[in-house]
């Protein structure tokens, strides 16, 4: 292997830059040429590929977003689109590709690997929803952004003795909601991994206020329902007034945490090692504090375990 490329794809995540930096520096350290693909799979199809040097990735480790830009690319979901992408890689003399992104990007990489282009995937998404790795790049930073928001909301909730509903991202996964709710001391946490009864929430709010508790914070994962919808249901069913806060894309930005920078550096470097060994169709992950690599198809063949212990803990601590 003499030349590899790297791209970022799907929803951006804090720490993607640190991962790009690690790929570029490790590749050069190993004597490989390394190119950056702009705008994810879209840029790959369009041939937006440029050679990167050590200095190209200077001063980015601390920055959120991605210097390579990201995109969602419907054309890459078609066989024709992927063939165009494969041809561009060949044209540029690229023999292996590091894909930094979420599970959609991983699916694309699996398809591209099947066309004979070895791809290694680095998990980067705030959702923390990739099977086979305990953590994804960006999750820790987003978690801390949400905790900061909950702390601030708690101040005003206490002052005005109000119930707040805070909606957080995560797509179909509840990790962000669960971890942030636990860390922020939320009274109720709703995640897609477990169904809930409106009557239970009403009961909790009422028994809390019966004990003199004047404020309450409910965290709802976007995969459960919209916060606004829950507010309407609480009003209609129990005449409970709430305020709603939808944190939105703030959760995707900001300088990556130390944990995300280190994770990104470890993942990026391992991805280059795997490509150098001539392997493709591989995902990089973290298990019990060890960096691991495993077959990309396991991400889709296996099912992640729902975080039942943490759900139970959050209930026990918010009685
Ligand atoms: P993420 O990678 O953050 O999960 P998306 O789900 O939007 O984000 O996926 C990113 C891109 O990966 C998509 O825009 C598309 O180009 C590609 N992709 C997603 N699913 C597939 C698929 N089944 N086959 C091929 N490419 C895919
Ligand atoms: O996958 C990351 C994520 O931020 C999800 O949490 C969210 O559902 C989605 O992307 C939002 O996507 P977009 O930026 O396209 O609105």
Res 6: pLDDT: 98
- Asked whether 17 lines ligand 1 (CB < 6 A), one says no
Does 44 have pLDDT greater than 90? yes
Token pair listed for 108: 């694309």
245 and 261 in a single domain? The answer is: no
Domain co-membership, 96 together with 9: yes
Residue 240 lies inside a defined structural domain of this protein: yes
Among residues 228, 252, 276, which one ends one of the domains? Answer: 252
Predicted local confidence at residue 191, as pLDDT: 97
Q: What is the distance in A from the centroid of ligand 1 to the CA of 236? A: 39
Same domain, 209 and 272: no
Please give the distance, rounded to the nearest whole angstrom, from the Cα atom of residue 87 to the centre of ligand 2: 30
> In this predicted model, what pLDDT tens digit does every residue of 178-206 receive, in sequence order?
999 999 999 999 999 999 999 999 999 99
Residues 159 and 268 grouped into a single domain: no
The answer to whether residue 50 scores a pLDDT higher than 90 is yes
Tell me, in angstroms, the distance from the centre of ligand 2 to residue 103's CA: 12
Of 242 and 318, the structure prediction assigns the larger pLDDT to 242
Same domain, 123 and 24: yes
Distance between CA 180 and CA 50 in Å, rounded?
A: 39
Stretch 248-267: mean pLDDT: 98
- At residue 103 the predicted structure's pLDDT band, cuts being 50, 70 and 90, is very high
> Is residue 11 lining ligand 1, measured as CB closer than 6 Å?
yes
Q: Which numbered atom of ligand 2 lies nearest the CA of 126? A: 2
Q: Which is it for strands 49-51 and 33-37: parallel, antiparallel or unpaired?
A: antiparallel
- What's the total number of domains in the chain? 2
Same domain, 165 and 29: no
What mean pLDDT comes out for the span 266-283?
A: 98
Question: Which pLDDT score, from 0 to 100, does residue 176 have?
Answer: 98
Look at residue 279 and tell me if it is in a domain: yes
Per-residue model confidence (pLDDT) at position 209? 86
Same domain, yes or no: 24 and 96? yes
* Contact between residue 168 and residue 244 where contact means Cβ atoms under 8 Å apart: no
Q: Is residue 154, in this structure, part of any structural domain at all?
A: yes
Same domain for 262 and 208: no
pLDDT at position 59 is 97
Q: Which of 219, 252, 285 is the last residue of a domain?
A: 252
Q: Is the pLDDT of residue 291 over 90?
A: yes
The distance from CA 22 to its chain's CA centroid, rounded to whole angstroms, is 18
Q: How confident is the model at residue 54 (pLDDT cuts 50, 70, 90)?
A: very high
The CA distances from residue 113 to 106, 110, 147, in Å, are 10, 5, 39
Task: Please report which confidence band the pLDDT of residue 302 belongs to, taking 50, 70 and 90 as the band edges.
Answer: confident
Give the pTM: 0.97
Angle between helix 79-91 and helix 103-114 axes, rounded to 10 deg: 70
- Residue 124's closest CA among 11, 288, 266? 11
Average pLDDT over residues 264-274: 98
Whether residue 168 is predicted with pLDDT greater than 90 in this model: the reply is yes
Residue span of the structural domain in which 237 resides: 140-252
Give the model's confidence band at 99: pLDDT under 50 very low, under 70 low, under 90 confident, else very high: very high
Query: Quick check: is 230 in a domain?
Result: yes
Within a domain: residue 318?
no
Q: Does a structural domain hold residue 294? A: yes
Residue 212 has pLDDT above 90, yes or no: no
Q: With 90 as the cut, is the pLDDT of residue 18 above it? A: yes
In angstroms, what is the span from residue 105 Cα to ligand 1's centroid?
4
Residues 145, 42 share a domain = no
User: 254: closest CA among 164, 140, 157?
Assistant: 140
Quick check: 68 pLDDT over 90? yes
Q: What residues form DSSP beta bridges with 36?
A: 6, 50
Element (H, E) at 112: helix 103-114
Residue 305: pLDDT over 90? no
Report if residue 177 sits inside a domain: yes
C-alpha distance from residue 192 to each of 55, 204, 310 (Å): 43, 19, 14
pLDDT at 214: 83
Residue 306: its pLDDT value, please? 87
What whole-number distance in Å separates Cα of residue 276 and Cα of residue 1? 6
**319 or 118: which carries more pLDDT confidence?**
118
Whether residue 62 is found in the same domain as residue 16: yes
Residue to mutate, 9, 39, 83, 110, ligand 1, most ligand atoms under 8 Å from C-beta:
9
Per-residue model confidence (pLDDT) at position 171: 97
Of ligand 1's listed atoms, the one at least distance from the Cα of 75 is: 16
Residue 232: C-alpha distances to residues 126, 222, 238 (Å): 28, 16, 10
Task: Indicate whether 185 and 235 sit together in one domain.
Answer: yes
315 within some domain: no
Nearest residue (CA) to ligand 2, atom 1: 11
Compute the distance between CA of residue 2 and CA of residue 56 in angstroms, rounded to an integer.
19
Domain co-membership, 159 together with 201: yes
Mean pLDDT of the chain: 97
Q: What is the structure's pLDDT at 205?
A: 92
- Domain CATH code at residue 52: 3.40.50.450
Would you please indicate which residues are annotated as catalytic (active-site) residues? 127
Q: Is the pLDDT of residue 33 over 90?
A: yes
Q: What is the pLDDT of residue 303?
A: 85
């Amino acid at each position: 292997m003499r030349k590899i490329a790297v791209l970022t794809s799907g929803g951006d995540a804090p720490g993607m830059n640190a991962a790009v930096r690690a790929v570029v520096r490790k590749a050069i350290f190993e004597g490989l040429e390394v190119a950056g693909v702009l705008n994810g799979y879209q840029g790959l199809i369009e041939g937006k590929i440029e050679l990167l040097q050590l200095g190209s990735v200077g001063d980015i480790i601390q920055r959120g977003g991605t210097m390579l830009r990201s995109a969602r690319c419907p054309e890459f979901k078609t066989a024709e689109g992927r063939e165009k992408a494969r041809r561009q890689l060949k044209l540029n003399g690229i023999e292996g590709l590091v894909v930094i992104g979420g599970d959609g990007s991983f699916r694309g990489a699996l398809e591209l690997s099947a066309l004979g282009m070895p791809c290694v995937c680095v998990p980067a998404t705030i959702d923390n929803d990739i099977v086979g790795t305990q953590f994804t790049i960006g999750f820790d930073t987003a978690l801390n952004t949400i905790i900061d928001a909950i702390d601030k909301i708690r101040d005003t909730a206490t002052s005005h003795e109000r119930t707040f509903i805070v909606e957080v991202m995560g797509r179909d996964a509840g990790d962000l909601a669960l971890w942030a709710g636990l860390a922020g001391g939320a009274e109720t946490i709703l995640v897609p991994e477990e169904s809930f009864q409106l009557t239970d929430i009403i009961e909790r709010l009422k028994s809390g206020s019966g004990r003199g508790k004047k404020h309450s914070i409910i965290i709802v994962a976007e995969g459960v329902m919209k916060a606004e919808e829950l507010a309407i249901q609480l009003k209609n069913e129990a005449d409970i007034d709430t305020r709603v806060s939808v944190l939105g894309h703030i959760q995707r930005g900001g300088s990556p945490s130390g944990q995300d920078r280190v994770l990104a550096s470890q993942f990026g470097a391992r991805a280059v090692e795997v490509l150098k060994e001539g392997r493709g169709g591989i995902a990089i992950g973290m298990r019990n504090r060890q960096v691991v690599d495993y077959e990309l198809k396991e991400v889709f063949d296996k099912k992640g375990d729902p975080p039942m212990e943490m759900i139970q803990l959050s209930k026990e601590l918010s009685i």
